[in-house]
Structure 1
Amino acid sequence: MEVTRKNFIEELENVKRDLSKCCFVGFDAEFTALLTGECFKHRLFDTSEDRYNKIKNEVSNMIMTQVGLTMFEYDRDTDSYTATGYTFHLCPQVVADIDQSFIFQASTLNFLCQHKFDFNKFTYEGLPYLSKVEAVKVQTYLENGLLLKDHARTLSMDEERQLQQYCSQVSKWLIQNEEDTIYLDVESPVLRYLTHMEIRSRFPKVLTTDSLGNSKKVLVYRHESVAGANNAPESQLQENLMKHLLGFSQVIALLETSKKPIVGHNIFLDTILLHNQFIGPLPQEYTKFKQNIHKTFPFLFDTKYISYEMSRKLSYREVWKSNNLQDLYEFFSEGKCKQLRKGVNHIKLSREFKDNQTYHEAGWDSYCSGYCFVRLGHWIASENRGSYTTVGPTETLTALAPYCNKINVIRGAITYMSFAENDPPRHRPPLLHVKALAQRTINIGQVASALAGFGNIDVKPHGRRTALVAAVTHQTVENILKNFRHSKEYRISKYSVYRHSAAGTVVVWSGALITGSLMLYFLHKQLK
């Protein structure tokens, strides 16, 4: 189900119902840009904190244009799951002095075009949203009567003309017509609120309220003695406006309060954008970012990380092509997993996706993530119990509990980021220290070329004549050390903080000086 401004209000009730009945939620998002360039490459040196620090100042220019949510409901009688998917189209908004902005990379535009992204739905029908920080600011503006003044300054000429026309209509009606009421058609919720406030200000005796039959109409009463006259409280008008401005953020709030497990695939960047777009600006401290996300979404699962760990149980011939989402989904949906050839739970869609459904459409990908989650959980639960029969959601979530809040880190020094506890220690082989013997200034490109044949590595400068090398496997490290043992170009050894870092050298020499000074002191004392 595609959700835009046109059907959001009615679908929001369906989302509430489906969320209350489901046992977990599949999640996916599509972005306006990807982090590219040399400084954003995934490097074997990086911890998750390093990655966060690299990108936290850049993602403020990126937004989610689509968010996919699929609710997986379990039927105990049939031991099956029913999946109900939603694709939410989002678009930034301007309200008062909040002017949300973003960038579209040309490469991302090409990618979205290849996957039939609907830019009209994004621009014309995309849902508004506010972060928690922005929502507090707008609410304060409303309560202090500042929104009217601030937003009036940002009205377009057409909006100003419309507002003036509504006031002129009311003025003519009061003078030339004897009818007790008049209806004004006001499409924009923001302009509707401004119309209420402006009419009440200009014509103190009239009463205004939203029409019961059509929320887009403003109903104006000539005076309070008219039968059924109702002046909507300003607090109610503010609440109606806030609901519109919050838009998709209301769905994020439902996810937060429901505490239902959320399942995505490779969601490191997604969590950062979720914070920036729906919680508030990213904190400088990595630990604070993790705390905020964990408080909002306490049960996160990443099928990229789970599948990476589970792939170790399979032989080379059994394992999936790769653990990207499409290959993983097709591995399970086409029955290629030998461990799940009997006793699997049936998974069906409550409604089919559109005919031209493709990967990288948020709703479909959120379904695929949830589908893989069920199959991975079934596999682990069956191994734990020693038999392959259908598995309920409670047993599935229990089996997957060790993977909860562990988010995959692509090609880094650690395999996952943990939202619930401290990140794991570095799992890569020890770093190598390279010193150029034949050059006064080390050439990083030449070092990388010389070592690339031994395995997957990364190289970074460590000084004028030195560099550090990170490798994927211990075998690569041993091969490099063995082959460069007698090299006349480079001296390569395992990196030592004490031998190869400036801070370590200072510590060693300071220790030596202190020790030497103490020895001289005691020797002098004895001689004396």
Structure 2
Amino acid sequence: MEITRKNFSEQIDNITKNLQRSCFVGFDAEFTAILSGDGFKYRLFDTNKDRYDLTKNEVNKMIMTQVGLTMFQYERKLDNYIAVGYTFHLCPQNLGDIDQSFIFQASTLKFLCKHNFDFNKFIYEGIPYLSRHEENTIRQQIQNKTLNSNLIQKMELQDEKQLQKYCSEVSRWLNNGDGDTLYLDVESPVLRYVVHNEIRLRFPDVLTTDSLGNSNKVLIYRDKNVEGANSAPMATLEENLMNNILGFSQIINLLVEYKKPIVGHNLFLDVLLLHSQFIGPLPKKYSLFKKNVNSLWPMIYDTKHISHEMNRKLSVSEVWKSNSLQDLYEFFSEAKCKRLEKGINFIKLSSPFNVKQTYHEAGWDSYCAGYCFIRLGHWAACETSGSYKPVGPKEKLAALEVYCNKINVIRGAVPYMNLVSDDPPSHRPALLHIKSMKERMIDIAKISSVIESPGSVDIKRYGNRTAIIAAGTRITADKILKQFKHDRDYRIAPYSFVKHSPIGRAAIWSSAIITGSLLLYFLHRKVNK
């Protein structure tokens, strides 16, 4: 189901109930930009801290335009899963001092157009949201009783004219004595909050409340002492406003409250955006970022990482094409692995996301990620027990616990980010050091073209005549060493901090000088005794 600004409030109770019933939640998102260019090229040298430091400032400029959530509910009697899926359309908002901004990358626009992204829903029907940092700012203004004045001060001219029109209408009504009640139709929840405050301030003898059955109507009584009527408490008006401007952040808060396992595919950038968009600006320290995410969502599973690890158990004849989400989903949904035919659960999508159910629609991708998670969990649980038979969600989660909170890292020094502990050591071979014997300034492009690599290689300058090579595999590193073994133009060897680092060499010389000086000092003392 598609959720926009128009149907969000009427669907939030159903969304909450479905989330409560779920055993885990599939997650996916579409972004306004993808980090690209030489400055953001993923390199085999990168530690996760390097990758985080490189991207954190740019990620703060991006937003999720679409979030897909699929709630997977287990039917114990039938041993089946019911998948209830939602595609949420989001859009930033302008509210008093808060003016949310973002970049939209041309290449991302092209990609979204290719996959029929609905920009009208994004702009005209997108659900608002606030980060926790922004929410705290608004709540502090409510506490200080400065919110109304801040909203009026930052109000657009059109809204300011509309506010004056409402106040003039109330003034005329009071002067003409026409009826005991007046209804004002105020569609904007922010303007509605301001209207309540302004009318109470300008006309202290009237009573204002929300009209029952129509949340857009402001009901005004001429006599504040009218029997059976009460002014809406300011706390109620403030809470109604907060619910409207929090928007999708209410769903994020539900995910935090219920602590359901979250399942996605290739989640590194998604997790960064979850923090920047719904918690607050990414912290300077990588360790604090991980701590923040884990404290809110303590169980996150990345099917990209899980499938990469479990791929080792497949034979050549049954391996999937790749562990992209589409290839992985089609591998399982088309029953291409014979060993997984026994005891697997039937998975029913309760309602389609749209007619075509295309990839790169956030809702559909969230369903695919959850579907793959169920199949991977069944496989892992059966491997643990030694027999292929029906298994429930608890057994699946237990079998996949070893992969919990490990987020796949593309083309880096380590295979994954660990949200609850130290990241793993590098799984790449040792670095190689290359020195030009003839050039006064080493040519990186030339070296790249000369290396006959059978796999991934990254090269970066290390000095005027030297560079460091990172190879994706041990086979690749060995082939490069063999290729340059007798080369006259370049000398290549496994990198050694002591031999090749200026700091390492300086440390050795410093140590030698200090040791020599101490030796001479003691010899001098001995001679003079």
TM range (shorter): over 0.9
Structure 1 counterpart of 2:363: 363
Displacement after TM superposition at 1:498 (Å): 1.2
Q: TM-score, normalised by structure 1?
A: 0.98
1:62 matched to 2:57? The reply is no
Amino acid at match of 1:136: N
Structure 1 counterpart of 2:266: 266
| Alignment CA distance shift 1:524-1:225 (3 Å) | closer
1:450 matched to 2:450? The reply is yes
CA distance in 1, matches of 2:375, 2:275: 29
Percent identity over the alignment is: 61
1:508 matched to 2:527? The reply is no
Structure 2 counterpart of 1:194: 194
Check conservation: 1:454, 1:480, Cα contact below 8 A. no
Amino acid at match of 2:416: Y
Check conservation: 2:86, 2:353, Cα contact below 8 A. no
Structure 2 counterpart of 1:166: 166
CA distance in 2, matches of 1:412, 1:136: 36
Q: Secondary structure at the match of 1:62?
A: coil
Structure 2 counterpart of 1:176: 176
Q: 5+ unaligned residues in a row in structure 1: which ranges?
A: none
How does 1:137-176 map onto structure 2 within 5 Å?
137-176=137-176
Structure 2 counterpart of 1:101: 101
Displacement after TM superposition at 1:340 (Å): 0.5
Amino acid at match of 1:264: G
Check conservation: 1:180, 1:226, Cα contact below 8 A. no
Structure 1 counterpart of 2:423: 423
CA distance in 1, matches of 2:432, 2:194: 66
1:245 matched to 2:248? The reply is no
CA distance in 2, matches of 1:454, 1:328: 26
1:388 matched to 2:388? The reply is yes
Check conservation: 1:52, 1:286, Cα contact below 8 A. yes
Deviations 1:107-140 (A, max 9, x none): 1111111111111111011011111110000111
Check conservation: 2:96, 2:155, Cα contact below 8 A. no
| Alignment CA distance shift 1:452-1:278 (3 Å) | farther
Structure 1 counterpart of 2:119: 119
Q: Secondary structure at the match of 2:68?
A: strand
Displacement after TM superposition at 1:398 (Å): 0.1
CA distance in 2, matches of 1:519, 1:444: 45
Displacement after TM superposition at 1:16 (Å): 0.8
1:23 matched to 2:23? The reply is yes
Displacement after TM superposition at 1:452 (Å): 4.2
CA distance in 1, matches of 2:252, 2:78: 31
Q: Secondary structure at the match of 1:61?
A: coil
Check conservation: 1:74, 1:393, Cα contact below 8 A. yes
Check conservation: 1:28, 1:362, Cα contact below 8 A. yes
Q: 5+ unaligned residues in a row in structure 2: which ranges?
A: none
Displacement after TM superposition at 1:322 (Å): 0.9
Displacement after TM superposition at 1:451 (Å): 1.4
Amino acid at match of 2:206: V
CA distance in 2, matches of 1:319, 1:413: 25
CA distance in 1, matches of 2:521, 2:170: 98
Structure 1 counterpart of 2:483: 483
1:498 matched to 2:498? The reply is yes
Structure 2 counterpart of 1:339: 339
How does 1:198-277 map onto structure 2 within 5 Å?
198-277=198-277
* Range 314-323 or range 71-80, more displaced: 314-323
Amino acid at match of 1:274: L
Q: Secondary structure at the match of 1:58?
A: helix
CA distance in 2, matches of 1:497, 1:316: 40
Q: TM-score, normalised by structure 2?
A: 0.98
Amino acid at match of 2:519: M
Check conservation: 1:223, 1:229, Cα contact below 8 A. no
Displacement after TM superposition at 1:57 (Å): 0.7
Number of aligned positions between the proteins = 528
Q: Secondary structure at the match of 2:453?
A: helix
* Range 291-300 or range 511-520, more displaced: 511-520
How does 1:12-91 map onto structure 2 within 5 Å?
12-91=12-91
CA distance in 1, matches of 2:456, 2:42: 13
CA distance in 1, matches of 2:486, 2:178: 104
CA distance in 2, matches of 1:455, 1:225: 82
Structure 2 counterpart of 1:290: 290
Displacement after TM superposition at 1:500 (Å): 1.1
Amino acid at match of 2:390: T
Check conservation: 1:85, 1:363, Cα contact below 8 A. yes
CA distance in 2, matches of 1:123, 1:455: 44
CA distance in 1, matches of 2:417, 2:183: 56
